[in-house]
Amino acid sequence: MTCQGIPPSHHITKDTDMADPLLFTPMALRGITLKNRVVIAPMHQYSAVKGYATDWHLMNAGRFAAGGAGLVIMESTKVERRGCGTVGDLGIWKDDFVPGLKRCAEFIRRHAAVPGIQLGHSGRKARRLRPWEGGAPLKPSAEIDDWEAWELVAPSALSAPESDPAPRALARAEIGKLVEAWGEAARRADEAGFDVLEVHGAHGYLIHEFLSPFSNRRTDDYGGSERNRMRFCIEVVEAVRAKWPQDKPLFLRLSVEDNAGWGPEQSADLARIVKDMGVDVIDCSSGGMTGSPVISAGPVGYGYQVPYAAKLRAEVGIKTMAVGLIVHADQAETILAQGQADLIAIAREVLYNPNWPMDAAQKLGVDREFTSVPSPQAYWLAKRASAVKGVVPSTFQRGIGQAR
Ligand SMILES: Cc1cc2nc3c(=O)[nH]c(=O)nc-3n(C[C@H](O)[C@H](O)[C@H](O)COP(=O)(O)O)c2cc1C
């Protein structure tokens, strides 16, 4: 797979004769309509308190919704206590978590975006320091009052790197209960008012640990052949789909290539199976099995994971979401126009500019009335744009009189 470069000459300038950019074309998925194709990718906030959502989550989800995105997917929210990556992970393993999550979902919807949530389980990558604290395995401390309950579990008792504490291999008899936990989490996500649900099957976390031969050395029917390694993921999808309403879309995030034995061919095989089970979109990521979930297995540059979305879309005929260093509006539009993906997910660039969707619309020449953002902002921005000549937004150039 090569990096997805966008030719520097590719500039989209919309005039009245041109069709609306695809990025700002609504999209219907089952009973839900996204107002545009810009999706805020799930991002851990490391800010929950014992799994409960805080004001930070409300503010963060809210600013992305108010920035004009069609869909805001809240972070990997853990289906089991054992699945928490850090002390700040968001939880959905008890009904008690529903009200805090519901507050966020309602807030996103009130600001005209569709609320989504990712369900996750960190498996052997649980119980660690936050990334900026070094990300190392935690040690027992007074701060953690349920150390034993926060157990590292995985398909096999293998650590990566080897110096890390080894997880306990899940007994076959335990797996059914764990699958059920995903289903129950989906039920709670629906009760909390989310309209899109994404199963996290990527980045070296539990589902991916079952998929990849690098981390799965089981000799029972959850290990060995490709089909056996897919079994846990397939059962999770089945349990989730059973509890997730039929009119609500279901996404699955995969590390399409992990450079450790699981690759695009296997991902395509899995996508074919889950498509028939009611997965609507494959969110195409990579890596995380042997390194960081954000810096992928392959060479990193603009749109480095787009070829994975293109491959699955073309070969499986399933909708795909592209993610990974999609930074510029014209880049996102080109990915859609070339038929490489159906949705564009943005993570770090919205940390830089939470109003990225609004900004992208201006750059693609649509939404001169700023209807994608709330009225208290739209009114003033539209007025400034139409009434004040010779003033351009800060993202359009480096400074007064300085070209980009
Ligand atoms: C702060 C942060 C937290 C993240 N948390 C998650 C997460 O909860 N679930 C997930 O699947 N990916 C997570 N990711 C990965 C992003 O969703 C995305 O795939 C990755 O950052 C590449 O996209 P980008 O280049 O637009 O940042 C996170 C990334 C960042 C920067």
**Long-range CB pairs of 219-226, under 8 A, 24+ apart, other chains included:** 220/172, 222/155, 222/172, 222/175, 223/155, 223/156, 226/266, 226/269
For residues 306 and 111, give the distance between their C-alpha atoms in angstroms, rounded to a whole number: 29
| Catalytically annotated residue among 205, 222, 304, 308 | 205
Spell out the residues 6+ positions from residue 52 whose beta carbon is closer than 8 angstroms to its own. Answer: 91, 96, 97, 100
Closest-CA residue, ligand 1 atom 13, reads 43
For residues 339 and 306, give the distance between their C-alpha atoms in angstroms, rounded to a whole number: 11
**Which residues face 34 on adjacent strands?**
27
Pick one of 3.10.180.10, 3.30.390.50, 3.20.20.70, 3.60.20.10 as the CATH number of 22-396. 3.20.20.70
Look up residue 20 and give its DSSP letter.
P
In the reported structure, the alpha carbon of residue 41 is separated from the centroid of ligand 1 by a whole-number distance in angstroms of: 6
The tokens describing 272, both together, are 């074919």
Coil, helix or strand for 250?
Answer: strand
Q: Please, is 13 exposed, middle or buried when counting C-beta atoms within 10 Å of its C-beta (0-12, 13-18, 19+)? A: exposed
Is residue 205 among the annotated active site residues? yes
For residues 240 and 119, give the distance between their C-alpha atoms in angstroms, rounded to a whole number: 10
End-to-end CA distance of the chain: 31
Element housing 281 (H / E): strand 281-285
Q: For ligand 1, say whether the CB of 327 is within 6 Å of any of its atoms.
A: no
Tell me if the pTM is above 0.75: yes
Spell out the residues 6+ positions from residue 7 whose beta carbon is closer than 8 angstroms to its own. Answer: none
Four-point Cα dihedral 323, 238, 80, 39, nearest 10: 20
So what's the pLDDT on residue 18? 58
Coil, helix or strand for 173?
Answer: helix
Mutate to test the pocket of ligand 1, among 4, 44, 289 (most ligand atoms within 8 A of CB): 44
Closest-CA residue, ligand 1 atom 30, reads 43
So what's the pLDDT on residue 258? 94
Domain ranges of the chain: 22-396
Angle, alpha carbons 99-104-109 (nearest 5°):
120
Four-point Cα dihedral 129, 133, 136, 137, nearest 10: -20
The tokens describing 56, both together, are 């930070």
Q: For ligand 1, say whether the CB of 346 is within 6 Å of any of its atoms.
A: yes
Q: For ligand 1, say whether the CB of 285 is within 6 Å of any of its atoms.
A: yes
In the reported structure, the alpha carbon of residue 221 is separated from the centroid of ligand 1 by a whole-number distance in angstroms of: 32
In the reported structure, the alpha carbon of residue 174 is separated from the centroid of ligand 1 by a whole-number distance in angstroms of: 30
The tokens describing 337, both together, are 């126009």
CB 309 within 8 A of CB 290: no
So what's the pLDDT on residue 299? 74
CB 347 within 8 A of CB 323: yes
Positions in the chain whose pLDDT score sits under 50: 1-15
For residues 138 and 121, give the distance between their C-alpha atoms in angstroms, rounded to a whole number: 17
Q: For ligand 1, say whether the CB of 42 is within 6 Å of any of its atoms.
A: yes
So what's the pLDDT on residue 12? 38
- 3-class SS letters over 42-100: CCCCCCCECCECCHHHHHHHHHHHHCCCCEEEEEEEECCHHHCCCCCCCECCCHHHHHH
How many other C-beta atoms are found inside a 10 Å radius of the C-beta of residue 34? 22
In the reported structure, the alpha carbon of residue 295 is separated from the centroid of ligand 1 by a whole-number distance in angstroms of: 9
So what's the pLDDT on residue 389? 85
For residues 222 and 339, give the distance between their C-alpha atoms in angstroms, rounded to a whole number: 35
For residues 224 and 217, give the distance between their C-alpha atoms in angstroms, rounded to a whole number: 7
Which among 83, 77, 56, 60 has a CA at the least distance from the CA of 354?
60
How many other C-beta atoms are found inside a 10 Å radius of the C-beta of residue 146? 9
CB 178 within 8 A of CB 80: yes
